[in-house]
Amino acid sequence: MKQILTSLLMAIAMIFMGTTTAKADVPNEETGQYVLKCGNVSMTIDAAKGGKILSYKYGDQEVISQQKWPESFGSTFWTSPQKEWYWPPVPEYDKKPYQVEEKDGVLTMTSEVNEKLKFKIRKAFAVDEQHQAIVITYSIINASDETRKVAPWEITRVQNEGGLIFFEAPVDSIWPAGLMNFKDAFGAAWYQPDEANENRKVNADGKGWLAYLNQEKGLLLVKQFEDLDKGQPAPDEAEIQVYVNRGKTYIELESQGAYATLQPGEALNWTVRWYLQPTDASEPSEALLQQVKKILE
């Protein structure tokens, strides 16, 4: 209960600390695609197809994957641990239509209840003009008549080309060891994506943020979320995860919130702040890490 209340208070505080109206344009009512704008940044969300984030741009420069085959593009949200549903993604959360409401400066999308898991997902989008961020508060609602345990999980896909992934964690703490060529530098772990004939995934206990540099476009994506202690993630899961699909196709930047107990009708709330800005950096450096720290101030 303490964890749930803390997450809710954090979400409320973020809304009142500079968050303004989520100015949503609907370019095509038939598609259900909403566009949020914050300065030079725009985010497109498809309510008709799982409330999925399809695009995140600085000007006309895209930073997330636009590949066409399923489970390879955009940004989605699942429940954790994965072992409770395994694969494919739960359709009510990942692909089916979400109901939409705009009220008090917040664009809210709500899923159907999945009959197996008995959860309903709510995604609330707001624009923080002061800090040039798009703020997403995810809620998992226990729609059953039983006590349930669950954790939130955001999955954002980027291209495996011309990118650099980094976060605060010692390389020797990333597990399983040796799957990806992470390097220690400037107090962070850095990964220049490579290519292999197998799917790979690693886990890490970070410090509440995960960054991706698109070196070709000179764009820095930073996502900020609650920093977890080691015992807080769901079983066999982690605060930060990086999945690399086989070949040179796409990569998933993943973050998770704390594993919590929900009473019937109770909701877990978890907030992720998205930032996107230009950078002159092209490789690991103290300057790039300081740019992230300045964003997170």
pLDDT at 4 exceeding the cut of 50:
no
pLDDT on residue 105? 86
- Whole-structure pTM value: 0.92
Q: What percent of the chain has pLDDT over 70?
A: 89
pLDDT on residue 203? 98
Q: What percent of the chain has pLDDT over 90?
A: 88
Confidence of residue 100 (pLDDT cuts 50, 70, 90): very high
**Could you report the per-residue pLDDT of 31-46, keeping only the tens digit for each?**
669 999 999 999 999 9
φ/ψ region of 284 (left if φ > 0, alpha if ψ in -120 to 50, else beta) reads beta
CA dihedral for 49, 263, 151, 275, sign (positive or negative): positive
Average pLDDT, the chain: 92
**Could you report the per-residue pLDDT of 8-62, keeping only the tens digit for each?**
444 444 443 444 555 566 545 666 699 999 999 999 999 999 999 999 999 999 9
pLDDT at 184 exceeding the cut of 90:
yes
**Could you report the per-residue pLDDT of 208-255, keeping only the tens digit for each?**
999 999 999 999 999 999 999 999 999 999 999 999 999 999 999 999
Confidence of residue 294 (pLDDT cuts 50, 70, 90): very high
Q: Which of 29-38, 40-49, 84-93, 172-181 has the lowest mean pLDDT?
A: 29-38
Confidence of residue 7 (pLDDT cuts 50, 70, 90): very low
